[in-house]
């Protein structure tokens, strides 16, 4: 069985918005109560006991007003947090579980579908204890798709979304990839990527384009009553804060839209895509001097999109080793040029007569290395 989630925009009424806020708050409250009880029990017994949300409903009657499955999922999330904390796998270590803040924690909850409690219609999504919520159903699921769960969230700009998880049988994909229809991509801070054909991915710098507008809105926010740490938040402060959050969300949506379009275009056009395995977090630090451009590109998100889109189409994404010297090798004769470690040198010149942009030369080398790795796997 395969799973796929579709995110829908919700338009709740005032009463439904209040119910969403209650559910967010109750989930946070139960999480903090369970974590507190676990810590207190550990101090006396040396073990973390199993706690459930049911034990708190007598002391806190308002917990009965919200969806019980949402509270049950909070328990599972806390158990997963403890497992990841003590896991030997370094990739899963996220530190010890922390208490959720009422001001800064993410507003979301997950509920499961039991006998049709979560369902979709033409213009709404039905949720437990909420009822039918108006929604934009921009994409219809398949006839054989079954709803497993729904995650309701509220973003910083105040908009509501429901991410509905579907389960369906694995489709039989008979497409056979053409290994000669391949392309290599080299990361470029100015333009997302440069491919082996010499094309540049995108020249948009969405954060920089909206930076002046954002700075102006943030200056206005700093002058409102409530900007200081222990100061009461005024209505004008909250209104201006929503404006700042809307600008941030607009920048993120622009970047996400561009990355989806570029990744879909490549996944439809090519059967084999070869890239470098880069640590984008390390590349964005101050040592390289272009951290803002690196983060604004969203190259890591772009590779994640490429990976699942190519996999759905029965195509290949090959990642070359991060230590592969793609920029230092002449793709014509194979001569190594150590001087190309200097990022200020933008053109490679070889004794064999090659004169080319360093990024395109690197993309060709990545393509050659990727095809070699694919041939070894086959």
The predicted pLDDT at position 178 comes to: 85
Q: What is the mean pLDDT of each run of 10 residues along the chain (378 residues)?
A: 92 96 95 93 88 91 94 94 80 80 89 93 94 94 92 93 92 80 88 87 83 94 87 90 93 92 93 88 66 79 92 91 88 87 86 87 92 85
Instruction: Name the catalytic one among 195, 271, 276, 369.
Output: 276
Distances 308 to 74, 267, 278, 313 between C-alpha atoms, Å: 28, 10, 18, 9
**What Rg, from alpha-carbon coordinates, does the chain have?**
25
Question: DSSP alpha helices (H): ranges in the chain?
Answer: 14-45, 68-85, 206-209, 211-222, 235-269, 280-283, 291-297, 299-312, 358-377
Residue 93's pLDDT is what?
A: 65
Tokens of 261: 């379009």
DSSP string, 205-232: -HHHHTHHHHHHHHHHHHTSTT-STTSP
User: β-strand 272-276 against 182-188: which pairing, if any?
Assistant: parallel
Query: What does the block give as tokens for 21?
Result: 């806020």
Closest CA to 272 of 183, 334, 185, 196: 183
**Whole-number Å distance between alpha carbons of 113 and 149:** 5
| Close Cβ partners of 182 (under 8 Å, ≥ 6 residues apart) | 270, 271, 272, 273, 274, 367, 370, 371
CB 160 within 8 A of CB 152: yes
What whole-number distance in Å separates Cα of residue 77 and Cα of residue 69? Answer: 12
Q: Quick check: is 359 catalytic?
A: yes
Tokens of 375: 């041939």
Residue 170 is a catalytic residue = no
Predicted local distance difference test score (pLDDT) of residue 288? 60
In degrees, rounded to 5, the angle at the alpha carbon of residue 303 between the alpha carbons of residues 311 and 147 is 50
Per-residue confidence (pLDDT) for residue 200, from 0 to 100:
86
CA distance 259 to 142: 25
- pLDDT at position 257 is 92
- Residue 287's pLDDT is 55
3-state SS, residue 9:
strand
C-alpha 22/C-alpha 154 separation (Å) is 13
Reference 161, options 139, 129, 136; nearest CA is 136
Of 67, 195, 271, 359, which is the active-site residue? 359
Per-residue model confidence (pLDDT) at position 236: 93
Domains of the chain (ranges; CATH) run 2-168 (no CATH), 182-211+244-377 (3.30.420)
Residue 8: Cβ within 10 Å count? 19
This prediction has a pTM of: 0.83
Give the active site residue among 186, 195, 271, 369: 186
Distance CA 288, CA 328 (A): 18
Six token digits for residue 101: 């803040």
Tell me, what's the pLDDT at 126? 96
């Amino acid at each position: 069985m395969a799973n796929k989630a579709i995110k829908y925009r919700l338009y709740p009424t005032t009463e439904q918005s209040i119910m969403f806020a209650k559910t967010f708050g109750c989930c946070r409250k139960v999480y903090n109560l369970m974590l507190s009880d676990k810590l207190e029990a550990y101090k006396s017994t040396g073990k973390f006991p199993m706690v459930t949300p049911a034990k708190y409903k007598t002391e806190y009657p308002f917990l009965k007003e919200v969806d019980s499955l949402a509270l049950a999922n909070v328990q599972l999330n806390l158990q997963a947090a403890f497992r990841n904390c003590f896991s030997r796998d370094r990739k899963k270590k996220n530190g010890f579980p922390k208490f959720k803040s009422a001001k800064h924690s993410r507003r979301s909850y997950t509920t499961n579908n039991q006998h049709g409690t979560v369902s979709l219609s033409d213009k709404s999504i039905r949720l437990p204890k909420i009822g039918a919520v108006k929604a934009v159903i921009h994409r219809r699921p398949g006839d054989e798709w079954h709803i497993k769960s729904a995650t309701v969230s509220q973003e910083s700009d105040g908009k509501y979304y429901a991410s509905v998880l579907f389960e369906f049988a694995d489709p039989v994909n008979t497409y056979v990839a053409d290994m000669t229809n391949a392309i290599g991509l080299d990361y470029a801070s100015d333009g997302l990527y440069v491919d082996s054909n010499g094309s540049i991915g995108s020249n948009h710098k969405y954060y920089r384009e909206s930076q002046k507008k954002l700075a102006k809105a943030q200056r206005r926010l700093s002058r409102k009553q409530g900007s200081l740490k222990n100061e009461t938040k005024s209505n004008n402060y909250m209104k201006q804060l929503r404006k700042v959050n809307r600008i941030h969300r607009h920048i993120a949506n622009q970047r996400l839209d561009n990355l989806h379009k570029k990744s879909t275009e490549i996944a439809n056009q090519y059967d084999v895509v070869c890239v470098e395995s880069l640590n984008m977090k390390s590349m964005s630090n101050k040592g390289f001097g272009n951290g803002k451009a690196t983060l604004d590109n969203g190259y890591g998100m772009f590779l994640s999109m490429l990976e699942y889109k190519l996999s759905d189409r029965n195509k290949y994404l090959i990642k070359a080793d991060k230590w592969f010297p793609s920029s230092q090798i002449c793709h014509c004769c194979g001569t190594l040029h150590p001087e190309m470690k200097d990022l200020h040198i933008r053109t490679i010149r070889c004794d064999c007569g090659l004169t080319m942009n360093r990024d395109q030369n690197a993309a060709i080398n990545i393509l050659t290395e990727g095809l070699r790795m694919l041939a070894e796997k086959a």
